Structure 1
Amino acid sequence: MARICSIRGTRVRSGGKIHRSGLAKKKGGIGRHVTKVVKRTVSPNLQTKRIWVPELNRFVRVKLSCRALKTVNKNGAYVTLKAAGLV
């Protein structure tokens, strides 16, 4: 299964990590220098949850991010899942 949130659509992003070498000037070196930029991936914090929906009188299993879980708690399960097209 893909690492995508069912509600918000949050997915894996790519970014860069800067590699630096050298000793800092304040520690007696000649300074830090950027040597290269390395690609890395930033994954969303995904959880697989069973959410109880009282209007349907059943559980719904969804893969969502923690931010989406806060949205479900704030707006309610049925409203959020209906807006996402899962119910």
Structure 2
Amino acid sequence: MARICDIRGTRVRSGGKIHRSGLAKKKGGIGRHVTKVVKRTVSPNLQSKRIWVEELGQHVKLKISCRALKTMNKNGAFATLKKAGLIG
């Protein structure tokens, strides 16, 4: 399955990590130099959760990020799921 949040749509992002060598000038060196740029991926913090929705009277199983879980705690499960279009 894809690593995508059901509510926010957060997915794996790609970026770069810069490798540097040398000692900084302020520490007495001749400066730092870029030696390599490496591709890397940043994954969302996904959790599989079974959430009780009071208005529906049942549990809903979701794969959501921790940010979406905080949003759900703040706004309520039913309102968040309705805004995401997961329930009618």
User: Would you say same fold, with TM above 0.5?
Assistant: yes
- Looking at structure 2, the residues matched to 24 and 71 of structure 1 have their Cα atoms a distance apart, in angstroms, of 42
Moved more, 18-27 or 29-38: 18-27
Distance 1:65 1:86 in 2: 15
**Unaligned 5+ runs, structure 1:** none
Cα separation, 1, equivalents of 2:27 and 2:68 = 45
- In structure 2, the residue matched to 1:11 is 11
RMSD (Å), alpha carbons:
1.2
Q: Report 1:51-62 matches (<5 A).
A: 51-62=51-62
**TM-score when normalising by structure 1:** 0.91
Q: How many residue pairs end up in the alignment?
A: 87
Structure-1 residue corresponding to 2:2 = 2
**d(CA) in 2 for partners of 1:26, 1:8:** 44
Cα offsets for 1:7-56 (capped at 9, x unmatched): 00000000110010123334443221011211110111111111100111
Give the Cα–Cα distance (whole angstroms) in 1 for the partners of residues 64 and 36 of structure 2.
34
User: Which sections of structure 2, spanning at least 5 residues, go unmatched?
Assistant: none
Q: Normalized against structure 2, the TM-score is what?
A: 0.90
Which residue is equivalent to 2:67? 67
Seq. identity, %? 84
